[in-house]
Amino acid sequence: MRPLTDEETKTMFEKLSKYIGDNIKLLVDRPDGSYCFRLHNDRVYYMSEKILKLATHISRDKLVSVGTCFGKFTKTIKFRLHITALDFLAPYAKFKVWVKSGAEQSFLYGNHVLKAGLGRITENTMQYQGVVVYSMTDVPLGFGVAAKSTLECRQVDPMSIVVFHQADVGEFIRNEDTLT
Amino acid sequence: MGRKLDPTNTVKRGPGRKSRKQKGAETELAKFITDGDYQMFLKTHNNWISIDEHWEEEEEEEEQTKQTKKGAKDQGKKSAKLGIKEVEEEEDDDDDEMVDDYGALLPIERAAKKEKKKKETMAQESDDDDDDDDEEEDEDGGDKEKKSDADSDEEDTVQANMDEMDAFRLPDAEECEKESIIPLDLKTIYQRIKDNVDVLCNFSTKREVGKERSEYISLLKKDLCTYYSYNNFLIEKLMDLFPLSELVDFLEANEIQRPVTIRTNTLKTRRRDLAQALINRGVNLDPLGKWSKVGLVIYDSSVPVGATPEYLSGQYMLQGASSFLPVMALSPQEGELVLDMSSAPGGKTTYIAQLMRNTGMIVANDANADRLKSVVGNVHRLGVTNTVICNYDGRQFPKVMSGFDRVLLDAPCSGTGVIAKDPAVKTSKDEADIQRSAHLQKELILSAIDSVNAESSSGGYLVYCTCSIMVEENEWVVDYALKKRNVKLVPIGLDFGKEGFTRFKERRFHPTLRLTRRFYPHSHNMDGFFVAKFKKFSNVVPTATAGKEKDITDAPEATAVTGSPEEKPSKSDKKKKTVPGKAGDLKGKPQANGTAAKKTANIKKKGKRDSPAGPKKAKIAKMDGETVQEAEAKKPAVKTADDTKASKAEKKEGSRFEKKQGKNRKATTKANGRMGKNKFRKLKNMLRKKGGE
């Protein structure tokens, strides 16, 4: 386990800021202690410093996971955000999309969100803005990228995609293996 | 009828003449009752209606019941079905007061019938074998169909059995051969099992003359193996564990699944809200029981329970009811350091985390890397942030990390408690498997104990649990741990469950085993489980044998013989024998202890190094002779050497220290600068020789 290099930190924060803007500092300086990111086996883990101390006792090949995994760096040093980060993205999300109950299941299977399934969307969403997807009962279902800005969403036909799927909670069942 | 007659409780008849004359109400009643009138009584319960009114209805019912019987599958339950059928018919009469489950007989009526039956069977002489068939055939006939009550059926057969040679006859050699060629159908086997158990429960009265109990039992074993598809080994083990009546219940319970239960994730939602959300989706559920605030039991569901958006967002977890128990027993507090040694698939780990409200730290370990993926998945899904997941063999754990406040060990086991989930266990387990499991569990529990920090301010607890019902894996392992380490059993904090065994067959366990709990599928409607909660009261590891002076490894591990004789394994080593005596002495002399404390402190300073102590002790051992005095002298030498090796941990322990002081009491001879008797004698001799020269 090692701390992230500056490059890696930059890449990751860029990705995160797409969803939560400049609330990233709220992730690091928390009232209940300071948290940090660490890299292990190409994956970025978010943990409090207390757990960090504990985890150093465990040898590298035996350590499987610490705290929460946010995502991983691909072979070409791009950062891919995983669904496991949802719990930390959702409260700080800048732009949200609510999905109708009928289209919930479709999104959970990994499909994009169509205009027909769109319940609500925050104002001023830019095109290609990172958004967090909620169900109508305010349960976070995943995140994605807005395919259309809010204004366009109003005008476009019902079968066109409004949110590109990036990650959804259904992956806990579908892709259990890729979590580690 | 004036007074309430309950002939089922037999009042002792008095000595006088009148009691002999009066035979009791049932005999009186029997005079009134004829079989033809029976239906009337069934319906009219308390109200006396004229016989004529019901005569036609009765005839109709006879025909109906005849037809339903042919459809009934299970012969053993035939009469029960009959009873139910008749209850249904009687519901037309709208008699709510017929309380009996299977139907309509008042106890008084039942007894009256018994009397009648007795008289009839006295006269009859029917063949044993035919009697079984008789029961079945008769039910098709006119008379027996009136037996709507299953209980009355049994009681009648009891009477019949008592009067002839027992209705259940062991098959002789010919029949056995026939059976091996053409196996009996399951119904017959089931009936035979029931009858056999019946006979065995009332053996003296119902046995066949000349047949031994062992023959009945061997037949029962064979039948159980065939009917429930178990292997011989397991059936024998189960027979040792359960009385025969419970055995069949247990085996039956293993055939059906336990109800699906879920645990609310209180980190993300409340049980009330979750229940509401699931009901809206079409799930039929109920709270689990008053012993759990987070459990819900699912009766049926129109959506897959493991794939709802609530499940995916981590608001609940599918978990067996029995898995709640060890975590409730562990009761981790906020801010503690907890270890879950065998954590896959992560249900208990996440429950621990939610009880700790994501504070403190949890280490979730499992030896199987594939199963750890499910732990990772569940931990992330349920929003647990204070967990480190690692892949060690549990036995190595104290070396990696120790000093946990609480440890949970859900040991890998033979799985005999979860046969309902995995029927392969019925045939695949044998003696070697159980022994292997038990060995592994013993190693794991010792490692687990060594990982606990006894000095912890809020904890020092270990919970050991298995999903097995075998004594070798449960009580024996717990007893082993009690002998080998400084732990004691404490109540687990759950008020239900059966107490663990304190003795089983030829083994005798520590009496505190009463505090452990066993759970069974047939009595608690959850998977078979065993839970034991330990409290570690000292970080010191007792040696196996005081005689062996091994290399001393780490500071925390000090070779110190514990005071209490129970914890020492009983060896024939002479040293062991004297030590209990010493412990006895100590208690009588506390003041000496106080002074000895200082003296031993001095000694400690002198003899710091471990290595010289080793050979030194050996030297001392050589020099001393074979007398008891020698042993005593040896003891102080050994003890002081022990003290020198012992770490500061010893000093810190309160009561323990006192005992050690007491043991070292005899060392005061050395501390005072005096020498032991033998040395003195030797010195005397030397001086004499010198003086002589």
**pLDDT above 70 for B341:** yes
The pair of three-digit structure tokens given for residue B313, joined into one six-digit string: 């967002």
Contacting residues for B431 by C-beta, under 8 A, at least 6 apart = B233
CB B487 within 8 A of CB B535: yes
Min Cα distance A174 → chain B (Å) is 10
**Average pLDDT of B295-302?**
93
Residue B169 contacts residue B128 (beta carbons within 8 Å):
yes
- The 3-state secondary structure of B625-675 reads CCCHHHHHHHHHHHHHHHHHHCCHHHHHCHHHHHHHHHHHHHHHHHHCCCC
**CA-to-CA dists, residue B397 to B351, B487, B676, angstroms:** 22, 18, 44
Question: Which residues, other chains included, contact B12 with Cβ-Cβ below 8 Å and sequence gap of 6+?
Answer: none
Find the mean pLDDT for residues B400-420: 91
* Residue B672, token pair as written in the block: 């005072």
B113 — pLDDT class (breaks 50, 70, 90) = confident
User: What confidence category does residue B602 fall into, taking pLDDT thresholds of 50, 70 and 90?
Assistant: very low
Helix residue spans in chain A (DSSP H): 6-20, 24-28, 49-55, 86-89, 101-108, 150-155, 171-174
Query: Interface pTM (ipTM) of the complex?
Result: 0.95
Interface of B with A in 264-283 (CB under 8 A): 277
Concatenating the DSSP letter of every residue in B176-218 gives HHHHHHSPPPHHHHHHHHHHHHHHHHTHHHHPPTT--HHHHHH
Chain B interface includes A47 (CB < 8 A): yes
The alpha carbon of residue A80 is apart from the nearest alpha carbon of chain B, in Å, by 17
Instruction: Report the gap between the CA of A55 and the closest CA in chain B (Å).
Output: 7
Mean pLDDT in residue range B526-551: 74
More confident residue, B641 or B121: B121
pLDDT in tens, B28-49: 666 665 554 554 544 444 444 4
**Can you tell me the mean pLDDT for B456-461?**
87
Which residues, other chains included, contact B282 with Cβ-Cβ below 8 Å and sequence gap of 6+?
A: B301, B302, B303
How far apart CA B348 and CA B361 sit, in angstroms, is 14
Measured between beta carbons, the chain A residues lying within 8 angstroms of B303 are: none
Residues of B in Cβ contact (< 8 Å) with A106: none
What is the pLDDT at residue A177?
82
- Give pLDDT tens digits for A115-157: 999 999 998 888 998 999 999 988 999 999 999 899 988 899 9
Res A166: pLDDT:
92
The pLDDT-based confidence of B393 (bands split at 50, 70, 90) is very high
Q: What is the pLDDT of residue B3?
A: 58
Would you call B383 an interface residue with chain A, using a CB distance cutoff of 8 Å? yes
pLDDT at B556 over 80: no
Q: What band does A6 get if pLDDT is binned at 50, 70 and 90?
A: very high
Three-state SS annotation for A41-65: CCEEEEEEHHHHHHHCCCCCCCEEE
Q: What is the mean pLDDT of residues B217-239?
A: 90
Mean pLDDT of B408-415: 92
d(C-alpha B7, C-alpha A125), whole Å? 84
pLDDT in tens, B342-378: 998 999 999 999 999 999 999 999 999 999 999 999 9
B337 interaction partners in chain A (CB closer than 8 Å): 54
Question: Are β-strands B361-365 and B387-390 bridged in parallel, bridged antiparallel, or unpaired?
Answer: parallel
Q: How far is CA B692 from CA B680, B683, B688, in A?
A: 18, 14, 6
Q: How far apart are the first and last CA of chain B?
A: 117
| Residues annotated in a binding site of B for S-adenosyl-L-methionine | 342-348, 366, 393, 410
User: Taking Cα atoms as reference points, which of B99, B584, B377, B683 lies closest to residue A179?
Assistant: B377
Which among B277, B315, B373 has the least Cβ separation from residue A176? B373
Q: How confident is the model at residue A79 (pLDDT cuts 50, 70, 90)?
A: very high
Q: Could you give the count of Cα atoms lying within 13 Å of B49 in the half-sphere of its Cβ?
A: 14
How many other C-beta atoms lie within 10 A of the C-beta of residue B679? 16
Q: Which amino acids of B are annotated as binding site, given as ranges?
A: 342-348, 366, 393, 410
Cis status of the peptide bond prior to B612, with omega within 30 of 0: no
From A50, which residue of chain B is nearest by alpha-carbon distance?
A: B361
Closest in B314, B374, B391 to A62, CB measured: B391
Q: How confident is the model at residue B8 (pLDDT cuts 50, 70, 90)?
A: low
Is A137's CB within 8 Å of B381's CB? no
Contact B361 A108 (CB under 8 A): no
Residue B627 pLDDT > 90 = no
Q: How far apart are CA A24 and CA A15, in angstroms?
A: 11
Is B467 an active-site residue? yes
Spell out the SS3 assignment of B109-170. Answer: HHHHHHHHHHHHHHHCCCCHHHHHHHHHHHHHCCCHHHCCCHHHHHHHHHHHHHHCCCCCCC
Residue B402 near chain A (CB below 8 Å): no
Distance CA B482, CA B148 (A): 55
- By percentage, how much of chain B surpasses pLDDT 90? 34
CA-wise closest residue to B138 among B119, B122, B160: B160
Three-class SS of residue B175? Answer: helix
pLDDT at B143 over 60: no
- pLDDT value of position B156: 52
Q: Per-residue pLDDT tens for A93-116? A: 989 999 998 899 999 999 999 999
B98 versus B453: which is more confidently predicted?
B453
